[in-house]
Structure 1
């Protein structure tokens, strides 16, 4: 892709992210995106069919980057889950603006669902190793842990990331491994 196309797509993505801070995806028009990006409508339609396709491109790009970043680490044992969780929080802190927007109420549920899959894949996949737990129960536990973790992340981002990535990783790690008795 040539530089002009890359630039145009970047400006359109930035414009949509800016608009999503104040409006829901369903109430954002192509006209608003184009005005914010200072690009005409025909240029927009040369790249995307609508605002939803543009949002999906932003989400996919973020998810791909997150997957590549986390994939660089080979943490698969329970003991290493804390390190992977800290790497996740570091990444989210670095990309806090886009994370906050994509996890906000103005987008669709796709990003949240995909985030749950990634969190399971990189953080919780090997965390629960009790062979006495049947598959159905494991799935419920996993959904509970991943959903809670996503909402902890969302809250952390919304409240200005007062704790460091390491501290947040420790909070999640202690809660998941020790339950409420591990909260200090």
Structure 2
């Protein structure tokens, strides 16, 4: 029986994920249909709906799994917050999975970094703002929105251009784009090298 989390269920999920990535090579995400995904995966619609509500739900679940995988690979003890090494580790992962992120980043409309919102707010944004004398929650929210939107759109452009800029160069550029009150002067590159 094909119950949730048994091997057949997991195999079918993998087939749908591979079908999504394969279809993304020939059509934009916005034109994908459940029917096209099912045909590509050689599975039926009933099987699709046993796994997902719709294509957006599928992308969200894929992203959640990738987010967990990324966090498992990320060693926070060796990386200072907003340092070139912390961004570079993240960017290596994005580049290795750019087919998926090309789709996922085009679905962003509100609060681009939905996964990890609470930790980002509590462990990063609030402490950085408070450390710099910003205690008004509304003002902190603007910093969060600015960071999320800017970071996501920069990342989206980098992926859309096939990650032409090296991870190291892009990491340095991202650091330069941080609000000045968050930048650690010792981590700032003097300039972003040409690529």
> Under TM normalisation by the shorter chain, which class is it?
0.7 to 0.9
Higher relative contact order (CA 8 A, sep 6+): 1
State the Cα RMSD in Å.
Answer: 3.4
Partner of 2:14: 10
| Structure with the bigger percentage of helix | 1
Aligned length, in residue pairs: 177
Q: Which TM-score applies when normalising by structure 2?
A: 0.70
Q: Secondary structure at 1:10's aligned position in 2?
A: helix
2:133 is matched with 132
Tell me if 1:145 matches 2:168. Answer: no
The unaligned stretches of length 5 or more in structure 2 are 184-189
Measured against aligned partners, the alpha-carbon deviations of 1:62-120 in whole angstroms (never above 9, x if no partner) come to: 222233333x3236755x6332122211221121111111112xx36478341683894
1:74 alignment partner, one of 73, 77, 87: 77
Partners of 1:82 and 1:169 within 8 A in 2: yes
Whether the 8 Å contact between 2:84 and 2:172 is mirrored in structure 1 is yes
Give the TM-score normalised by structure 1: 0.74
Q: Is the 8 Å Cα contact of residues 23 and 37 (structure 2) preserved in structure 1? A: yes
Paired residue for 1:92?
A: 94
Asked whether the 8 Å contact 1:90–1:165 carries over to 2, the reply is yes
CA contact (8 A) 1:81 1:127 kept: no
CA 1:95–1:111 in structure 2 vs 1: closer, same or farther (change >3 Å)? farther
> In terms of mean alpha carbon deviation, does 51-60 or 126-135 score higher?
126-135
Aligned partners of 1:133, 1:113: CA distance in 2, in Å? 22
8 Å CA contact 2:24–2:99 kept in 1: the answer is no
Matched position secondary structure for 1:161? coil
CA distance in 1, matches of 2:144, 2:57: 30
Structure 2 Cα separation of the partners of residues 111 and 16 of structure 1: 24
